[in-house]
Amino acid sequence: MAATVDGVRHRTVEANGVRLHVAELGPEGGAAPVVLLLHGFPDLWYAWRHQMAALAARGYRAVAPDLRGYGDSDAPPDASAYTTFHVVGDLVALIADLGQPQVFVVGHDWGAIVAWQLCLHRPDLVRALVNLSVVYQPRRPERSPLQSIKAACGEDHYMCRFQEPGVAEAEFARYDIKYAFYKTFGMRKPAPPILPKDKSFFDALDSDGTCPPWLSEEDISYYAEKFAKTGFTGGLNYYRCMELSWELSAPWTGAQIKVPTKFIVGDLDLTYNTPGVQDYIHKGGFKASVPNLEDVVVMEGVSHFINQEKPNEVSEHICEFFSKF
């Protein structure tokens, strides 16, 4: 198991009523600029091991928590305790613990969604943002997230399947946990997974079930060991709170994000190939919603788990952008 990454320190932070496991690399305390790295589903702090090393080598203090419900952090039992407001609250408390008035932020997948919301609600805490894979789209009052997904992709979109407690968990439990990660990390089809009623989540993925070349067996073993202990419910609860988060966010309908931002996505990413997203990114909608969007990078031949598939390139993009500030 690759639980040890050279020099990484591990600690627990009491944050917003939950205990967050936090991994850190780079200078301890002091005046070193902090970069907060936020993972997605099904992932862990470990997703950022390459970026942490690159940032630490440049004098940054890289801080990567397991978000609530994941890894060695607490997992509240109530499914409604996973709104973006809960998670942003965790991050505000974590930033206070770090002792810096502002931090740089990097997010991927659900981590990107949470990072957008952190910038929306507490822009005073964020110096600059690099987000991967998931764009910011302002709240629309006329249609909830799930209604929008169903309108674009139909009722069999994977996020619809994830809504019913226990259903996705039962599907995941039918497979060897290492195989589940081989399939998930190996997906390359440039489209969101569509799950007909007779297909499982893994049936819908195009990967062959072998270890992707950009991961090691030790990496897969680390994920398998952590998720064997926790299960997937914590991560799935983020999807189950999408509608509640939307309901609670009514005061921010149409709000822009003003934090300086760089966005990176792979051209094979399921998010980039969701209907309407490419036009939104490239025809002015994204820039209108994020007026200080300074750069959009589309990496050719790269799929969803971009920070692990192309670690050096992504690290260089992050460091280059943050060096401006």
pLDDT bin (cut points 50, 70, 90) of residue 4 is: low
Contacts by residues 72-78 (CB-CB < 8 Å, ≥ 24 positions apart)? 72/10, 72/12, 72/21, 72/226, 73/18, 73/19, 73/20, 73/21, 74/18, 74/19, 74/20, 75/230, 75/233, 75/234, 76/18
Would you state the pLDDT for residue 198? 86
Would you state the pLDDT for residue 29? 78
DSSP E strands, 44-101: 61-65
Q: Is residue 3 part of a domain?
A: no
Structure tokens at 59: 């004098």
Average pLDDT over residues 292-307: 98
Tens digit of each residue's pLDDT (9 = 90 or more) over 150-162: 999 999 999 999 9
Q: Which of 1-15, 189-203, 284-298 has the lowest mean pLDDT?
A: 1-15
Residue ranges making up the domain that contains 174: 9-323
Average pLDDT over residues 237-265: 98
Among candidate residues 46, 70, 239, 272, the one labeled active-site is 239
Would you state the pLDDT for residue 107? 99
pTM for the structure as a whole:
0.97
Contact residues for 140 (Cβ-Cβ < 8 A; gap 6+): 148, 253
Q: Is residue 1 part of a domain?
A: no
Q: Is 269 a catalytic residue?
A: no
Q: Is residue 2 part of a domain?
A: no
Tell which residue, 77, 10, 13, has the closest CA to residue 46.
Answer: 10
Q: Is 239 a catalytic residue?
A: yes
CATH code where residue 196 lies: 3.40.50.1820
Average pLDDT over residues 199-213: 92
Tell which residue, 34, 10, 6, has the closest CA to residue 23.
Answer: 10
Q: Is residue 288 part of a domain?
A: yes
Element (H, E) at 180: helix 177-185
Would you state the pLDDT for residue 241? 98
Would you state the pLDDT for residue 5? 83
Secondary-structure percent of the chain, ordered helix, strand, coil, rounded to 5: 40, 15, 40
What is the rounded average pLDDT for all residues in the chain? 96
Among candidate residues 39, 86, 304, 317, the one labeled active-site is 304
Judge whether residue 275 has pLDDT over 60.
yes
Contact residues for 87 (Cβ-Cβ < 8 A; gap 6+): 67, 68, 114, 117, 238
Among candidate residues 109, 136, 157, 222, the one labeled active-site is 109
What's the structural domain count of the chain? 1
Average pLDDT over residues 123-133: 98
Q: Is residue 4 part of a domain?
A: no
Q: Is 72 a catalytic residue?
A: no
Q: Is residue 93 part of a domain?
A: yes
Q: Is residue 120 part of a domain?
A: yes
Judge whether residue 1 has pLDDT over 70.
no
Would you state the pLDDT for residue 199? 87
